[in-house]
Amino acid sequence: MSSPEQIIKEFGFYSAPVHGMSMYPLLKNHRDSVYIEPPEHLKKYDVVLFRRKNGQLVLHRIVSIEKSCFLVCGDNEFFKETIQKEQIIGKMTEFCRNNKNGKTAGLKFKIYSHCWCSSFFIRKILLYIYTKFDRD
């Protein structure tokens, strides 16, 4: 079986279903899928696929860029993690939810990203409210 790194190198992109809850409410476990391209021009609020030192694949959002590293965090998490550029496999450029595609370059996505990251300290309350009314 080919790794995401090999697939991106060979085909220029990687597409896969979402497994896990770290990017909820943007991405829902076993419902949504993502389209990952090479990690060019990374900036704050980009969602990146990276490999942890233990080999685990993770999809998180860049919340800060330092000189030689990136601070990332899942939308459904409160712990920020430091990663190196070498760990980043690719950047999410599209996602699919309920057979509808969304692009990360769109205004709606940019507004969501900025608002969600700005609400880091009240995120726990927002997640509680959102999960109470999430019907699918």
Predicted pLDDT of residue 87:
97
pLDDT of 135 over the 70 cut: no
The burial of 136, by beta-carbon neighbours within 10 Å (0-12 exposed, 13-18 middle, 19 or more buried), is given as: exposed
Contact indicator for 27, 5 with CB cutoff of 8 Å:
no
Kindly report which listed range (48-52, 56-60, 103-107) carries the lowest average pLDDT score.
Answer: 103-107
CA atoms of 131 and 82, how far apart (whole Å): 28
Section 39-53 average pLDDT: 95
Burial of 65 (0-12, 13-18, 19+ CB in 10 A): middle
Tens-digit pLDDT profile for residues 56-93 = 999 999 999 998 899 999 998 888 999 999 999 999 99
Taking residues 107-116, report their average pLDDT: 89
Contact 78, 117 (CB under 8 A): no
Assign 38 to helix, strand or coil: coil
Region of 98 (left: φ > 0; alpha: ψ -120 to 50; beta: rest) is left
Query: For the residues 40-64, what does the mean pLDDT come to?
Result: 96
**Rounded Cα distance, 62 and 82, in Å:** 10
Q: Which domains does the chain have, with CATH numbers?
A: 4-133 (2.10.109.10)
What percentage of the chain has pLDDT greater than the value 90?
68
Kindly report the pTM of this predicted structure: 0.87
Cis peptide, bond prior to residue 25, ω within 30 of zero = yes
